[in-house]
Amino acid sequence: MSESLASYRTVVNVETATFGTAPPHRMPRAAGADAAGCPGATYCNISYDAEAGEGCYLVRFAPGTGSTPHEHIGHEEFLVLDGTLTDCDGTVYRRNDFVSLKPGSKHVSVSDEGATLAVFIRGGFRALDEGEEVHR
């Protein structure tokens, strides 16, 4: 075996990771919007493949910002690394909460104080059309 394990490994430290405004998932801010991502959010791609709709990335929400309303085609799972995130039904996720959302779930989340999440996606997701309801 000629290749080392290091050639197969990615290590990202949340404290020193480089975050940028371009989301790895390429989902627009809202249906029909030209720009992708969420204003006030930054991303660090670890292994997310937008074509496959699978992988993981870190997302950091600035205080008062959150996600675009969206539906999950496959599972979304995330670990809250710091801060809090409030879902559209009022559920508050705190540091060390691991959340799993099933395919078909429609939601939007906001972080009043800011938050950093490790996000794991299987099957991708889509931005909801204007007026399309989220689960409450």
Is 135 within the bounds of a domain?
no
The predicted model scores a pTM of 0.88
Instruction: Print burial letters for 11-26: b (CB count within 10 Å at least 16), e (below 16).
Output: ebeeeeeeeeeebbbe
Domain presence at residue 82: yes
Question: Which of 68, 72, 26, 29 has the alpha carbon at shortest distance from 48?
Answer: 26
> Per-residue pLDDT averaged across 87-115, rounded?
97
Could you tell me if residue 133 is inside a domain? Answer: no
Return the pLDDT at 39. 77
pLDDT at 2: 81
Q: Is residue 28 part of a domain?
A: yes
Asked whether residue 81 is domain-assigned, the answer is yes
Residue 111 has pLDDT above 60, yes or no: yes
* Number of domains, the chain: 1
In a domain, 62, yes or no: yes
The residue segments making up the domain with residue 114 are 18-127
Q: What is the CATH number for 27?
A: 2.60.120.10
- For residues 76-87, give the mean pLDDT: 97
Asked whether residue 91 carries a pLDDT value surpassing 70, the answer given is yes
4-52 confidence digits (pLDDT tens): 999 999 999 999 999 998 888 877 555 444 445 577 899 999 999 989 9
Q: Is 117 among the domain residues? A: yes
**Cα 26 to Cα 19: distance, rounded to the nearest angstrom:** 15
Mean pLDDT of the chain: 90
Is 80 among the domain residues? Answer: yes
Is pLDDT at 81 greater than 80 in this prediction?
Answer: yes
Q: List own/partner pairs for 96-102 with CB under 8 A and 24 or more apart.
A: 100/75, 100/76, 101/72, 101/75, 101/76, 101/77, 102/72, 102/75
> Residues of the chain with pLDDT > 70: what percent?
93
pLDDT of residue 8: 93
